[in-house]
């Protein structure tokens, strides 16, 4: 029996305040988020013989008196039910960004469900990446990758936003981390090869680096020289050439990173049953790639049949190199068909529109601490006692409200101190930051909208 929409809406509304934007069709039924006064629940209305009836967890269905063949249940917002929502409601699941267009990534340290952020991107030619989360974040915050994904899922469902969103598991270094991210349904996998780049090679003399290169197999050495020396590589409107000894140094410095990326890609990312963004992450080593290093890395990965979608670098470390050799780096990314991704975009880049234009409108900007600053602004406006506790835990002076921006030293310091503030050290009570922000969710959403819209308007 087909259930009528108005019947389902009426049943849900009888249980509490139905968030109309969340009301969605599922096979043989409907779901919607309902505020019952004791918190938000997932209302499910479905046929008595629906194949999904037993899949929802945490509560029991009831038979509706006036509709004997309809079942109604109020379920908690738990991981099982979030996964079901992603499976049954297509737009509530993350999707890949691909190699074209602009995306903006956020990191949510608190896990506050909000419908405002997704809807800021309605009718915008910018894709939001609502989760950009690393193992380091997880360890500091004691909040796992699934919790970050589920918060974004409930936020998207409550917003009704159908424009598509991404979820990136960033900074992954081990097979276990990659497998978990894949199991949790992340649409992007960022493999951190920063510690595989041998920066000690930069300190070697020419004689020392040539001696080490000379230890490689003869055929390998000849193949490298033949591939890069005495040739010009045209990328866009510029040409790249290689010098012999600098090339040999690159092999020593990047060789392990290339092998590591190749192995991870072949073992886990080459043949996934869904579209997936693969990010090569160099942001942690704070290295500004030269045009030759950039081309060498991209070309060797291509030769190894490694298809990646973004190359992530630290924006602050890369800024000067980009200013001096922009045409080369933009040309390389375009020639090898991937986007540049910039970690800690703000405050390194003052004009995101100029940066996006430079890379042919193909870039990902990580606004890592933006939501956290919105949360701090909320506390500064509503709870002076908690703000003082936050400052004490961070080892910083109590900030004025206007100082909590990326443009101010204090704002940047508090952004970087999120781990100290939110971490739960032995013997110290965890500060009720999340609870304070949830209490003032309307104000929090206004603050984040003001901060995010500033960058959306730029783009």
Residue 225 within any structural domain of the chain: no
Mean pLDDT of 189-206: 96
Q: What radius of gyration do the chain's Cα atoms show?
A: 25
The percent of residues in the chain predicted with pLDDT above 90, rounded, is 91
What is the pLDDT confidence band of residue 427, given thresholds at 50, 70 and 90? Answer: low
Residue 113 within any structural domain of the chain: yes
- Helices 79-88 and 145-159 cross at an angle (nearest 10°) of 50
Q: Render pLDDT for 134-188 as a digit per residue (tens, 0 to 9).
A: 999 999 999 999 999 999 999 999 999 999 999 999 999 999 999 999 999 999 9
Q: Render pLDDT for 294-341 as a digit per residue (tens, 0 to 9).
A: 999 999 999 999 999 999 999 999 999 988 999 999 999 999 999 999
CA–CA gap between residue 426 and residue 257 (Å, rounded): 37
184 and 164 both lie in a single domain: yes
Instruction: Identify the domain boundary among 20, 46, 78.
Output: 78
Angle at 256 between CA 251 and CA 261, to 5 degrees: 115
137 and 190 both lie in a single domain: yes
Instruction: Identify the domain boundary among 367, 385, 402.
Output: 367
33 and 100 both lie in a single domain: no
Q: Render pLDDT for 73-114 as a digit per residue (tens, 0 to 9).
A: 999 999 999 999 999 999 999 999 999 999 999 999 999 999
Q: Tell me what pLDDT residue 324 has.
A: 94
What tokens were used for 347?
A: 């405050």
Asked if residue 454 has pLDDT above 80, the reply is yes
Asked if residue 424 has pLDDT above 80, the reply is no
Residue 207 within any structural domain of the chain: no
Mean pLDDT of 210-229: 96
338 and 320 both lie in a single domain: yes
Q: Tell me what pLDDT residue 350 has.
A: 85
Residue 446 within any structural domain of the chain: yes
Residue 106 phi, psi (nearest 5)? -125, 155
The span from the first CA to the last CA of the chain, in angstroms, equals 48
Asked if residue 425 has pLDDT above 80, the reply is no
pTM of the prediction? 0.95
27 and 152 both lie in a single domain: no
Q: Tell me what pLDDT residue 215 has.
A: 96
What is the pLDDT confidence band of residue 69, given thresholds at 50, 70 and 90? Answer: confident
Instruction: Identify the domain boundary among 367, 398, 426.
Output: 367
What tokens were used for 431?
A: 């500060």
What tokens were used for 74?
A: 């109020």
CA–CA gap between residue 65 and residue 49 (Å, rounded): 16
Residue 217 within any structural domain of the chain: no
Nearest in space to 175 (alpha carbons), one of 164, 183, 166? 183
Average pLDDT for the chain: 95
132 and 257 both lie in a single domain: yes
Residue 205 within any structural domain of the chain: no
156 and 290 both lie in a single domain: yes
247 and 341 both lie in a single domain: yes
Q: Tell me what pLDDT residue 235 has.
A: 96
Q: Tell me what pLDDT residue 297 has.
A: 98
What does each C-alpha distance from 233 to 106, 251, 406, 420 come to in angstroms?
Answer: 36, 18, 39, 47
Q: Tell me what pLDDT residue 2 has.
A: 81
The region of weakest confidence among 47-51, 179-183, 373-377 is 47-51
Residue 135 within any structural domain of the chain: yes
94 and 70 both lie in a single domain: no
Residue 214 within any structural domain of the chain: no
377 and 437 both lie in a single domain: yes
If one counts the domains in the chain, the total is 3
Q: Render pLDDT for 393-404 as a digit per residue (tens, 0 to 9).
A: 999 999 999 999
265 and 363 both lie in a single domain: yes
154 and 257 both lie in a single domain: yes
Write out the residue range of the structural domain in which residue 56 sits.
Answer: 5-78
Mean pLDDT of 241-269: 97
Angle at 401 between CA 399 and CA 407, to 5 degrees: 85
Mean pLDDT of 411-423: 94
Q: Tell me what pLDDT residue 327 has.
A: 95
Residue 307 sits in a domain whose CATH number is 3.20.20.70
């Amino acid at each position: 029996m087909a259930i009528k929409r108005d019947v389902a809406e009426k049943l849900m509304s009888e249980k509490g305040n139905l968030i109309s934007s969340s009301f969605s069709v599922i096979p043989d039924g409907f779901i919607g988020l309902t505020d019952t006064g004791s918190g938000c629940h997932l209302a499910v209305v479905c046929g008595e013989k629906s194949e999904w009836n037993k899949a929802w967890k945490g509560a029991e269905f009831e038979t509706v008196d006036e509709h004997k063949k309809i079942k109604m249940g109020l379920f908690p917002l738990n991981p099982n039910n979030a996964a079901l929502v992603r499976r049954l409601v297509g737009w509530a699941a993350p999707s890949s960004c691909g190699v074209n267009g602009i995306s903006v990534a956020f990191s949510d340290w608190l896990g506050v469900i909000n419908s405002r952020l997704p809807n800021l991107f309605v009718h915008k030619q910018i894709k939001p990446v609502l989760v950009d989360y690393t193992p380091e974040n997880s360890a500091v915050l004691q909040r796992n990758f699934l919790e970050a994904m589920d918060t974004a899922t409930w936020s998207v469902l409550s917003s009704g936003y159908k424009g598509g969103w991404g979820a990136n598991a960033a900074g992954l270094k081990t097979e276990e981390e990659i497998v978990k991210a894949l199991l949790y349904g992340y649409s992007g996998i960022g493999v951190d090869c920063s510690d595989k780049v041998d920066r000690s090679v930069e300190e070697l003399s020419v004689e020392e680096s040539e001696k080490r290169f000379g230890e490689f197999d003869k055929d390998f050495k000849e193949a490298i020289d033949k591939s890069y020396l005495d040739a010009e590589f045209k990328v866009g409107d510029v040409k790249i050439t290689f010098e012999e000894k600098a090339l040999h140094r690159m092999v020593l410095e990047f060789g392990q990173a290339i092998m590591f990326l190749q192995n991870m890609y072949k073992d886990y990312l080459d043949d996934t049953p869904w579209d997936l963004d693969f990010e090569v992450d160099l942001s942690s080593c704070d290295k500004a790639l030269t045009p030759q290093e950039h081309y060498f890395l991209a070309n060797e990965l291509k030769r190894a049949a490694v298809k990646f979608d973004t190359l992530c670098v630290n924006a602050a470390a890369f800024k000067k190199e980009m200013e001096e050799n922009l045409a080369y780096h933009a040309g390389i990314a375009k020639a090898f068909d991937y986007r540049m991704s910039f970690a800690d975009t703000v405050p390194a880049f003052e004009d995101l529109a100029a940066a996006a234009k430079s890379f042919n409108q193909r870039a990902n900007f990580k606004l890592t601490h933006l939501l956290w600053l919105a949360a701090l602004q909320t506390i500064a406006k509503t709870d002076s006692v908690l703000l003082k506790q936050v400052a004490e835990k961070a080892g910083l002076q109590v900030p004025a409200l206007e100082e909590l921006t990326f443009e101010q030293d204090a704002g940047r310091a508090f952004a970087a101190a999120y781990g100290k503030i939110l971490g739960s050290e032995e013997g110290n009570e965890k500060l009720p930051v999340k609870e304070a922000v949830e209490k003032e969710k309307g104000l929090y959403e206004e603050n984040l909208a003001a901060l995010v819209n500033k960058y959306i308007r730029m783009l």
